[in-house]
Amino acid sequence: MKTKTASRTKVAKALKGDLLPDEQPMVTELYRRAQARLRKQRKRRRPETGASKSAADQRRTFQARQVRQIDDLELRNAELQNDRDRIEPLLEKYTDLYDFAPVGYFSLDESGRIMEANLTGAALLGVERARLIHRPLQRFVAPASRPGFLTFLKRAFAETGKQVCEASLLRAGAGAFWAGFHGLAANTDERGSRKWCRVAVSDITSIKQAEEAQRRAEVLADANLGLRREIIRREKVEASLKQSERHQRQMLEAAHRMQEKLRQLSRQVLLAQEEERKRISRELHDVIAQTLTGINLRLGFLKNEAERDLKGFDRSVARTQRLVEKSVDIVHRFARELRPAVLDDLGLIPALHTFMKSFSLRTGVRTDLKAFAGVERMDATRRTVFYRVAQEALTNVARHAKASRAEVILQKESNGVCMTIQDDGKSFQVERILRRKGGEHLGLLGMRERVEMVGGCLHIESAPGRGTTIRAGIPFAASGRRGKAGKLPPSAKFICDLELCPNRPANVPPLKSAGIKPARP
């Protein structure tokens, strides 16, 4: 009864006009709808058969129906009021989210005019929101970025899906800034009359600046990497130059030392030549000159004796002939020592045999010769080198070694011939003798120079109780290649298998021999 009474009270108020202004149109509309529904029910109602109702019953029935309709209207009104109360906060929240979003939102038509904009979008452009409506958004785009922005709008309306663009926007009263655009087209507006699209705009100036900074950092990193590589390259070049400078300085010092050694060698050669001239002069004076003087005296004596005694004359002639023969033998010996004719006429082996036989007769040292017959196929220059090495080595044996036996061996190697001279005499310190500045090592230097002149190598081994061994290796002549004056071209070298030999290739296994030293000063 209380609800019905309240409903009647509201209806009465509505009829009198005592409701609030916002409630009166709603109640009036509800009342109008109730009257319309009541009229429709009366038209559908069939005429009742039987006794007719009284006028009082009809009024009561009408009032009851009105009361029910008013109750329905009040219930609907309450529901509407609750929906409005629930929607209004959501609408305010949506409006706040839209207006104060971190990005700007614009609704554009197909020509690019702004239909709607939020407060963030207006703040990005520096223009009040009311002044943005119906203005083309492309006017706020920098001229350089405008073609790209127009292409973005065409894609947004022509294609499905989200479209992306970056452009420079002009802010009123401020400079330009970079903005990112994300556009999505809608089929129609609220009235269904034309297409439109929603565009989200965000300030990406900081991102662009970060990208530019990153790009510059990458450029700087690349430049720094290039500089580091250049520094490393220059350091390597500098180190190489320093090493080359040290090498050149060492070579220069070595050249100076070699030059000094050449001067010493030249002086020693001159002294040796002078000593040899003195020896030959002494030999000529002491032997040949005295012999010839004796022959002269004998001839004078023979002249006087021929007149007195013929028998004594014959004995004197025989004695004079023996003096002449002795002089001839001495001259022949000098000639053989200077240049043995048998070496040119018969070859190396006969020349060595003749020299060693004469050497044994003069010194008492027994000698043996073992030769490889193919050595005679070598040219005259190489055979002469072998002969001079053997001659100098045996001469040193006679002068210094005090040996009782010496052996000369000529054997074939892979690319040449090796001569080995061994004796059982006293040993000596090879390094000390080679470093000595006097003329004692002149013979060793001469042997080394002769052997290296034809591309060979010379090694000396001397140990107590084992005597001295000299090993000289000389290569065969390269086919079709001749050096000047019979010398071997520098590219042809003897392949030595001794461990300490600088001419030994890396692929040749070393032949270890304790005490073997290269004949280097």
Is the domain of 322 the same as that of 353? no
Three-state SS for 199? strand
Q: Which of 47, 10, 189 is nearest to 113 (CA)?
A: 189
CB contact at 8 A, 154 and 170: no
296 found inside a domain: yes
Is the domain of 364 the same as that of 443? yes
CATH number at residue 499: 3.30.565.10
Is the domain of 484 the same as that of 356? yes
47 found inside a domain: no
Is the domain of 145 the same as that of 164? yes
Write out the two tokens for 486: 């019979």
Write out the two tokens for 82: 């609750």
pLDDT at 482 > cutoff 50? no
Please give the residue that has the higher pLDDT: either 37 or 427.
427
Question: What are 259-277's pLDDT values in tens digits?
Answer: 887 777 776 776 676 677 6
Is the domain of 250 the same as that of 282? yes
pTM of the predicted model over 0.85: no
The pLDDT confidence band at residue 33, using thresholds 50, 70 and 90, is confident
Is the domain of 377 the same as that of 481? yes
Contacts (Cβ under 8 Å, ≥6 apart) of 170: 140, 141, 142, 176
322 found inside a domain: yes
The 8-class DSSP code of residue 498 comes to B
Residue with tokens 């002068």: 399
Query: What stretches of 447-489 adopt beta strand conformation (E)?
Result: 457-463, 467-475
Question: What are 337-372's pLDDT values in tens digits?
Answer: 666 778 888 899 999 998 899 899 989 999 999 998
Which residue, 140, 171, 203, sits at the end of a domain?
Answer: 203
Which residue, 313, 338, 363, sits at the end of a domain?
Answer: 338
Question: What are 389-445's pLDDT values in tens digits?
Answer: 998 899 889 888 888 999 999 999 888 899 999 999 887 877 776 666 555 556 777
Is the domain of 299 the same as that of 414? no
Q: Which domain holds residue 152?
A: 104-203
Is the domain of 29 the same as that of 110? no
> Range with the lowest mean pLDDT among 45-59, 124-138, 185-199, 469-483?
45-59
Is the domain of 318 the same as that of 358? no
CATH number at residue 121: 3.30.450.20
347 found inside a domain: yes
Angle between the N-to-C axes of helices 380-396 and 442-453, in degrees from 0 to 180, rounded to the nearest 10 = 160
208 found inside a domain: no
Work out the mean pLDDT of the chain and round it to a whole number.
77
**Dihedral pair phi/psi, residue 164, rounded to 5°:** -125, 145
302 found inside a domain: yes
Label residues 463-500 b or e (16+ Cβ within 10 Å = b).
eeeebbbbbbbbbbbeeeeebeeeebeeebbbbbbbee
219 found inside a domain: no
Which residue, 312, 338, 364, sits at the end of a domain?
Answer: 338
Is the domain of 178 the same as that of 285? no
Is the domain of 390 the same as that of 486? yes
Q: What is the pLDDT of residue 513?
A: 44
480 found inside a domain: yes
Is the domain of 332 the same as that of 347? no
The number of domains in the chain is 4
